[in-house]
């Protein structure tokens, strides 16, 4: 199983970025894939998640209304569209896969066994 993130970068506050998580090594119809982030000196935080069963999604309160998670099964890729970015969104963003379930409800970082290498998102004020 391999997860490769891309799309991070430097953006001004109020701007947008789209992160991609390209997945390989497993059947892309049986998963929960989450986005997590970790800022310097802070604990890792769950940002969003999507499950393959019905496309059900989860968002942290801090990103609701600004971030949108989606999946393209034909491309084996999960996206995180981030709009109205704030300096507090600055972090390394990771995607992770839980291949034991097809939903996000009740899942936390400990349930995700496979992780990408991360992509840096920096939002300047």
Residue 106 pLDDT exceeds 90: no
pLDDT tens digits for range 42-84: 999 999 999 998 778 999 999 999 999 999 989 999 999 999 9
Residues in contact with 21: Cβ distance below 8 Å, sequence separation at least 6, in sequence order: 3, 4, 5, 33, 35, 77, 78, 79, 80, 95, 116
53-60 own/partner pairs: CB under 8 Å, 24+ apart: 53/102, 53/103, 54/103, 56/103, 56/104, 56/105, 57/104, 58/34, 58/104, 58/105
Beta bridge partners of 95: 35
* The pLDDT value given to residue 55: 77
Residue 29: per-residue pLDDT: 85
pLDDT interval class at 28 (50, 70, 90):
confident
Residues making up the chain, counted from first to last = 125
Instruction: Find the mean pLDDT for residues 5-29.
Output: 95
């Amino acid at each position: 199983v391999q997860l490769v993130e891309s799309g991070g970068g430097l953006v001004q506050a109020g701007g947008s970025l789209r992160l991609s998580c390209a997945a390989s090594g497993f059947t892309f119809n049986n998963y929960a894939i989450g986005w997590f982030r970790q800022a310097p000196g802070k604990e890792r935080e769950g940002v969003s998640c999507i499950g393959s069963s019905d496309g059900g999604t989860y968002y942290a309160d801090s990103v609701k209304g600004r971030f949108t998670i989606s999946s393209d099964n034909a491309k084996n890729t999960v996206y995180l569209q981030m709009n109205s970015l704030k300096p507090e969104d600055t972090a390394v963003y990771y995607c992770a896969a839980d291949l034991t379930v097809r939903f996000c409800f009740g899942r936390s970082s400990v349930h995700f066994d496979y992780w990408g290498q991360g992509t840096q998102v920096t939002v300047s004020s």
